[in-house]
Each structure stands twice: as C-alpha cells, then as structure tokens.
Chain A
C-alpha cells in the first residue's frame, strides 16, 4: 500500500500528461490529416514525412532539439516570457509540447487513412443534399472516420505514456512536475527498489496489452462495418 502511494504521483502525472497531449493531438491532427488525405499538392508528402519523423528519429535527438527550442534562448523561452517564466524546458507545458510532436504520427496516420478510405461520392452526395463542405466534414467525414479517430486517440495516449527519451531530455526528473511513470521506473531500478519497479512495470505491461487489444478489436469492427 505504501508502495502504491509512492508511485501514485508519477502515475497521476503521466495520466494527466497523456490526457492533455491526446486532446491537443486530436485538435491538431484532424485538419492536418484531412489536408494530407484530400489535398492534391505534390509537396504534401514532404509534410507527411516531417510528421512521421519521430517514428525513426532517436528520442534523444528529438529531445535535444526540443530542449534548445524550449529553452531560454529558443522560441519556448520567448513564449514563457509572456507569463514571466524563463523557459518551457523542465516544465509540464514543455512536456506537453514535446509529447505532441513525438506522438503526432501515431494520431495523424490512422485518421488520415480513415479520411482517405471515404468514398468521394459520400461527400458529393452530401453536397448535392445541401451540405456545405464544412457541414459535410462534420456530418459525414468525421462520423465515417470514427474508427480512425478512436485508434489515433488510443495510440496517442498510450504512446505518450510510454515515452522516455524525449522527456528525460526536456523534462528532467522533477517530482510532481516532470517525473512521469517511465522516469520513475528508471529511478526505482537505479536505486534498487525492485518492488516498486515491479508494480510500475507490471502495470504498464497490462496497460499496453489492453491498448493493443482495443486497437485490434476496433480495427476489426471498423472493417466489418464497411
């Protein structure tokens, strides 16, 4: 019980970070995925490649550049200056920004695929029934891409929970501020607290299994419906 109490702040912080990040990712990814799915400009694959880069980049490399960008001399410092701060590095806000960039491909890709799978005839039918493009987007495209949104949200949430390298680079290990579960687990192992490490790691294994299972089941249901 004492062990649970000790790991709880890190778990709570992680859940908070993942929730805020997922929300921000959905807001950002929806127009981006729509544009990537429907636009006919040639350079859109360049944008798609930039979005996908966190998939192959070492998290530490991404974290290094983020640290510079969020720090006092980067744009992050200027933004922090608006409310009297010095830097976005080593703050919760900084972690959200880093996590959004790091998990972006996991959210954009499923939503983009879902948008691409929509028959253009559906949107033309909506237009012929008097729906403006904006109306048709919300009343037809988004509901039809529902599975893509769910998959993207689950993957984004789970991937944020699992990140380590980027957070270590831009967030350090401040209890209650930036010490998330994966960092806490590292600390427990370093300090030979095996019991707490087991609790945290075991919980994450169960969580990961449930996430992957959920995505697979959603994917199957989505296919059956079409």
Chain B
C-alpha cells in the first residue's frame, strides 16, 4: 500500500490530502490545473515538505519524527518538462541514476525490474543514445527522462504530467510507450494528469483531486462513470470503459473485431494479437439508443443493452442514460426530448448504437489482476 496524508499551506493554497492506494499498477492523481496534484506528487518524492505521513509498502518515508531525504527515497520522478542534464549525453543521463541506484538500494531490498537494454528497447532510445539532450525533440527528451528514472530502479515511479509540455502529435507518439511501460513495470506508478483521455488509457485507478483535497477515489471504470457531471471533466469527454478480447482481424476491410462479453464490437484496425484484452473507451456523446434493432444504418456497433438509470435535470438540454451491457456499463447522452419520445424507463431492453470509440490496447486484465480496491479516507 501507498498511504499518504499531507496537510499544509503552500503559497496561499491549502493542501489537505489523504489517500491510500495499492502499491501496484497505475494510480492517476486527476483534477483540474491548480488543484494541488503536483504538490502532492512532490510531497511523495520529498521535494516539498509538508506536515503529514507517508509509507510505501510499510516503509515509513515521513511521519511526525521521520523525513527521508529525497535522494534516499527509492522514488523515480519524471518532471513536466524533461530535466535532462545538458552536460551529459543520453547515455550519460541514463547512467547517472543507474550508478547511484546500487548505493541507494541498501542491500537487496529491491532489485532492478528492468535492465538497461530492456529499458532502451522499451522506450526506443537506441537511435539517439549518443546525442546530447539539446539535439533531441521534446518527445525524445521525455522518453529519455522516463528511461533515466527507470534505470535508477525505483520502487515507486512518480510522473508529473509527462505529456503536458508536448504537442498533440508527440503526445500520441509517446502514449504507446507509457502503455508498454505500465504493462511491464513491476513498481507502482503515480501519474498526475488533468487529461481524462490520458488517465482513461493508462490508469488502473483514479484519485480525484480538487482544491487541494481528495474528493474521490476508485477504479478507473467506476470513476469515469462517477466523474460524470462533476467539474473538471468537460461534458463532451465523459466516458465509460468496456473491456473486451480481440476476436479477429479483417485485413481486407481493415477492421478488428472485439468480443465484449459475447457481443461483437467492430473497431478500426488494431495492431494487437488475437486474444489480447483491451479496454475500449466509449464517450457518452457517441452513444445513441434505439428500442428496435435498426437496419440500413451506417453505425457498425449495435449492442444489446438494458437501461439501468436515467438522469436528467429539469433545466438541462441533455440527460444521461446508463446502459448495462453484460457486466459493464456505458453512458449515453441524449436530449431530454429523445428521452421523452422513446419513453425510456429503467429495466427496459434497448440497443446501444456506438459511433466511434477510442482504444487502450492494453495488458493487464489477462496477465495480472490489477487491484482496484482503492479507497478515499
């Protein structure tokens, strides 16, 4: 477990955050800019000192009497903008933490989970290993920074919006590296982000932060549903996750078919093996509802569903309908007019029409069972 509680004032801002999450998988600290996510991450690393306590796997890093100095904590840190040492080559930067890791390890308490070659391979660093940081693109720099942190063999990896300084295209290039990292890394990762799309792709669980406080905590699937109408998530980004297994690839039509609890989902081609478990992120705005199975329609994904709940405020244009698809739930955002016309009621069978989906080609659910039993206190 990672058990953390920090309380104090930081430049006109009150932080009072307390959470406990399993020490495995990816935990996202999610919230709007200025909500204190980075401050919490800095407290975890010991770079900022506030009153509080912190223990990682039973090892106390901070309490009333103890404050372990940052360089003695086995915590890797990836900063918002890559802080590579400009006087060292990429290889020199990578070696910096590697050399010191042995000294920091204090015996055999932990072992490097990935060796140097595996990390270089994982992050694709080989082509520019001898270059200087000033000769790298922003995305390459951030990959080196991640590799450097990993080579120090941390027992906890802290990432502070590692993609925020990058443009959208570079971001899209790096996300697959992060996904691979999340899949193979044995150490827990705490990932700060205000981008729900990033969080949905990477995180096993979400700790929601607002105004310096923890306001919610749970598995990514649960939290995406719950985050719903709250501030911090743009309405059009509201989404839910479906888990499925890749059933087949249609190379002629360039499509991949995913089996979601017995129902077939057709998606753009994915470069993943048959049998791989993936998460499909479905945005509420992309889901329509039909009471009969429609025919003569361009939408490929028509899933049997059951209406679970209906939520529409009196003064709102749209309402949210939660649909059960097998064991999973997705949300559909439709106008209140449509709701009334279809006379939707909880318990009714219906069809969910899904227009477009985004994917998280990922690990995880078959290889290991991520604990998502996070709780806010």
A144 interface residue (CB < 8 Å to B): yes
A211 to B47, CA, bound (A): 42
For B42, the closest partner residue in chain A by CB is: A124
Query: Which of A131, A146, A225 is B71 in contact with, Cβ under 8 Å?
Result: A131
Label chain A's interface by main secondary structure: helix
A128 interface residue (CB < 8 Å to B): yes
Query: Which of B45, B103, B158 is A130 in contact with, Cβ under 8 Å?
Result: B103
B49-57, B79-87, B321-329: which lies at the A interface?
Answer: B79-87
Given A124-B47, A125-B79, A126-B96, A132-B85 contact (CB < 8 Å): no
B285 interface residue (CB < 8 Å to A): no
A39 interface residue (CB < 8 Å to B): no
A124 touches B83 (CB 8 A): yes
- Which residues of chain A have C-beta atoms less than 8 A from B77's C-beta? 124-125, 128
A124 to B76, CA, bound (A): 11
Query: Which of B70, B86, B103 is A128 in contact with, Cβ under 8 Å?
Result: B70
A76 to B100, CA, bound (A): 46
Given A146-B87, A225-B86, A128-B100 contact (CB < 8 Å): no
Residue tally, chain A, CB below 8 Å to B: 22
Q: When each residue 85-99 of chain B gets 1 if its CB lies under 8 Å from chain A and 0 otherwise, what string results?
A: 111000000001100
A119 interface residue (CB < 8 Å to B): yes
A203 interface residue (CB < 8 Å to B): no
A121 touches B149 (CB 8 A): no
Residue of B75, B83, B103, B104 ringed by the most chain A CB atoms within 10 A: B83
Q: When each residue 39-74 of chain A gets 1 if its CB lies under 8 Å from chain B and 0 otherwise, what string results?
A: 000000000000000000000000000000000000
Residues facing B in A118-163 (CB within 8 A) are: 119, 121-122, 124-133, 135-136, 139-140, 143-144, 146
A146 to B71, CA, bound (A): 24
How many B residues are at the interface, by size bracket? 20 to 34
A226 interface residue (CB < 8 Å to B): yes
A130 touches B47 (CB 8 A): no
B100 touches A129 (CB 8 A): yes
For B98, the closest partner residue in chain A by CB is: A129
- Which residues of chain A have C-beta atoms less than 8 A from B69's C-beta? 127, 132
B134 interface residue (CB < 8 Å to A): yes
Query: Which of B70, B71, B75, B83 is A121 in contact with, Cβ under 8 Å?
Result: B83
B247 interface residue (CB < 8 Å to A): no
Q: When each residue 103-121 of chain B gets 1 if its CB lies under 8 Å from chain A and 0 otherwise, what string results?
A: 1100000000000000000
Nearest 7 Cβ contacts at the A-B interface: A130-B100, A129-B97, A128-B77, A130-B104, A125-B83, A121-B83, A127-B70
Chosen A-B contacts, 19 in total, with CB atoms closer than 8 Å, are A121-B79, A121-B81, A122-B83, A124-B47, A124-B83, A125-B79, A126-B71, A128-B45, A128-B71, A128-B158, A129-B152, A130-B71, A130-B101, A130-B103, A143-B87, A144-B86, A144-B87, A146-B87, A226-B86
B interface vs A, CB < 8 Å? 45, 47, 69-71, 75-77, 79, 81, 83, 85-87, 96-97, 100-101, 103-104, 134, 145, 148-149, 152, 158
